């Protein structure tokens, strides 16, 4: 009977140690969770900032392309206006001369 009692006491002691170990691990987990959440939030913010930076760089590139296209379009329109002016100026001069001659006339 003494052997059985020793066996039960040993089992009770082992169970107590197991419970203590589980409680210690649970405390460690409870302590680590806020740190892990904070680390995940930091990583999320970092990724978000990186994404925003890439998006802004892309917008800047697109804006530069649009500005270059607008400048090119403007130059083309100026060239066409200059061409038109070179044709219209002599024509306008003819019309003015004709009007002056009709008035004199």
How confident is the model at residue 67, as a pLDDT?
A: 98
How confident is the model at residue 1, as a pLDDT?
A: 66
How confident is the model at residue 62, as a pLDDT?
A: 97
* Average pLDDT, consecutive stretches of 10 residues, N- to C-terminus, the chain (105 residues): 82 91 91 91 97 97 98 97 89 87 84
Structure tokens that stand for 37 in this block: 């959440």
Phi, psi (deg, nearest 5) at residue 24: -65, -45
- Computed from CA positions of residues 62, 66, 67, 68, in that sequence, does the dihedral angle turn out positive or negative? positive
Alpha-carbon distance of 2 to 49, in angstroms, equals 70
């Amino acid at each position: 009977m003494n052997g059985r009692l020793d066996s039960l006491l040993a089992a009770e002691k082992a169970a107590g140690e197991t419970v203590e170990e589980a409680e210690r691990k649970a405390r460690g987990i409870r302590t680590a969770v806020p740190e892990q959440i904070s680390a995940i939030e930091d990583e999320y913010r970092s990724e978000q900032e990186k994404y925003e930076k890439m998006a802004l760089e892309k917008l800047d590139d697109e804006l530069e392309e649009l500005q270059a296209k607008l400048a090119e379009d403007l130059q083309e329109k100026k060239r066409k206006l200059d061409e038109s002016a070179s044709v219209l100026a002599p024509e306008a001069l003819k019309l003015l001369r004709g009007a002056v001659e009709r008035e004199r006339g």
